[in-house]
Amino acid sequence: MHRTRTLTAAAALLVLSLGGLTGCSSSPAAQPKSHMTASDTPAPGSQSPAATTAASSATPEPSGSCANTSAEQAVNENIDKVGPAFPKGNVPDAEWVAIDTETYDPCADLSWVTLTIRRGTASSPSQQMLFHDGEYLGTTTQEGIAFSPATVRLSDSAIQVTYRWAKEGESNAGASGRAVSTYSWNPNTESVDHAGEWPPGVG
């Protein structure tokens, strides 16, 4: 009988231990809104660029509603809606041009086209146009950001953007600063949610 009570007590301790571990698990944090929604709140924390590298090969699944516009049409019809590359007006003739239109998908919940300025340099302002089922939504940020970001698709409705910026004392060529953001289509609000970070002074 003494051996039976000992085993029973050990089993009870094991159950309590497992229960404690379960109680400590965390739930996903609420994501803040992007510039295209009614509100925009700070992100709960930074995200490492390596955290979602494996997801960059995700292939979007058709959402069931596709636009009839090509990438070139979608960009040309909406590029004038993008704010100026230099809001202060010091380069009035700066013109936005698409870097690559292959990232546009008329059937995806969220797709994008990255812009830079014509005859620009590596550190020239860039901007990103966002689309839902081929319909133009707006841009990822209110104003352009220096350096073209690295963008990967996480799913049909989400993308990850890694921004580059020069830390104090660094040249543009040696800019090592990184800030990672995710943008996700929210079907409930029919808008885009933002989570993560922007470079200093942006957002």
> How many helical (H) and strand (E) elements, i.e. helices and strands, does the chain have?
2, 9
Question: Which segments of the chain does DSSP mark as H helices, in order?
Answer: 2-23, 71-78
**Confidence (pLDDT) at 30:** 35
**150 touches 128 (CB < 8 A):** no
CA atoms within 13 A on the CB side of 49: 13
pLDDT at 10: 40
Q: Is the dihedral of CA 98, 102, 105, 106 positive or negative?
A: positive
Side-chain-side CA neighbours of residue 85 (13 Å): 24
Task: Give the pLDDT confidence score for residue 36 in this predicted structure.
Answer: 52
| pLDDT for the residue numbered 109 | 98
In this structure, the strands spanning 150-155 and 145-146 are: unpaired
Type of residue found at 101: T
Backbone angles phi, psi at 106, to 5 degrees: -70, -10
pLDDT in the model for residue 12: 40
**What does the H/E/C string look like for 111-159?**
EEEEEEECCCCCCCEEEEEEEECCEEEEECCCCCEECCCEEEEEECCEE
Q: Which residues of the chain have pLDDT under 70?
A: 1-64, 203
Residue type, 200: P
pLDDT on residue 148: 94
Which helix (H) or strand (E) is 180 found in, with range? strand 177-186
What is the CB-side half-sphere exposure of residue 41 using CA atoms within 13 A?
6
- Alpha carbon distance 170, 56 (integer Å): 29
- Looking at residue 193, its pLDDT comes to 98
pLDDT score recorded for residue 56: 41
Tokens 């209110």, residue?
142
User: Cβ atoms within 10 A of the Cβ of 6, count?
Assistant: 10
User: What is the domain partition of the chain in residue ranges?
Assistant: 31-38+61-196
Residues 11-53 pLDDT 10s: 443 333 434 433 333 333 333 334 453 334 444 443 333 333 3
